[in-house]
Structure 1
Amino acid sequence: MEKMAMYKCDTCKGVVEVVTPVCDEALKGFSRLEEKTEDATTEKHVPYIEEHEDGYVVKVGKEVEHPMTEEHYIQFIELLIDDNRLYRAYLKPGDKPMACFTVSKGEKVAAREYCNIHGLWKDR
């Protein structure tokens, strides 16, 4: 299995991320989460990255912030730099749908986020 792929347990709905390649047997009972990049709804899910002097800010919802209610919220935001540095911020209901990462800059920067209802999203 591909490194950094995410899976959701078919029973408890927990999410796991593959850190090193594993056999198919290890993921029985899990469904792979596909990274979505197009948002056609009024609630915005695609993360976007702002570069700052001391790192990056990742926000969810460019025109309209993603809801952060008990029923519907962003559980975490990830920032990947140069395919070898991964940073993650966990969020909870009531938080702003954003994460600040004070890190060294990179050449290649990507972001993902996980919505408890609508799944995994990646920046374009």
Structure 2
Amino acid sequence: MTERMEVYRCEICGNVVEVLHDGIGELVCCGQPMTLMEAKTEDQGREKHVPVVESGPSGMTVKVGSVPHPMEDAHHIEWIEVLTAEGVVRATLSPGVAPEAALEVRGDVVEVRAYCNVHGLWRARQ
């Protein structure tokens, strides 16, 4: 069974999907069940991965890590997203750019997540 906003990864090809609707089926890629990614938190201590939120008058800036995360081809943040009561706002990042995004957000923030291509899914609860 899948639940809305869960993130799954294929262990064979690295494909990552986010569930938009609850479902009773199993997600499959490359002929194998996909793995549910449990978001890691600041409690697990990776200062380069936990999203850091700075609120402003027109939205928020999300930086990944209290120490800037590497943004190299082999190791980088792929995306940052803000989950609110009204929906999701996501920014896609690329190697060579800063690991941060300025986002215009409406509604109460529930969670902020970032995905590292090497170390997986990270979150900060608001």
Q: Which category describes the TM-score, using the shorter chain as reference length? A: 0.7 to 0.9
Distance in 2 between residues matched to 1:112 and 1:25, nearest whole Å: 23
1:30 deviation in Å? 0.2
1:44-63 mapped onto 2 (5 Å cutoff): 44-62=48-66
Q: Deviations over 1:6-52 (max 9, x none)?
A: 000122111000000122334452000001003434x5100011111
Q: Deviations over 1:70-112 (max 9, x none)?
A: 1100000001122x310110001001000111233x3334210
Distance in 2 between residues matched to 1:18 and 1:6, nearest whole Å: 6
1:23-42 mapped onto 2 (5 Å cutoff): 23-27=24-28, 29-38=33-42, 39-41=44-46
Distance in 2 between residues matched to 1:74 and 1:99, nearest whole Å: 11
1:44-123 mapped onto 2 (5 Å cutoff): 44-62=48-66, 64-82=67-85, 84-104=86-106, 106-123=107-124
* Length-normalised TM-score, structure 2: 0.86
Distance in 1 between residues matched to 2:69 and 2:48, nearest whole Å: 6
Distance in 1 between residues matched to 2:68 and 2:22, nearest whole Å: 35
Distance in 2 between residues matched to 1:44 and 1:25, nearest whole Å: 32
Q: Please give the secondary structure, in 2, of the residue aligned with 1:3.
A: coil
Letter in structure 1 aligned against 2:45: A
Q: Which runs of 5+ in 1 are unaligned?
A: none
- Percent identity over the alignment is 44
Aligned residues: 120
Letter in structure 1 aligned against 2:84: I
Which residue of structure 1 lines up, in the alignment, with residue 8 of structure 2? 7
Which residue of structure 2 lines up, in the alignment, with residue 18 of structure 1? 19
1:11–1:29 contact (8 Å) kept in structure 2: no
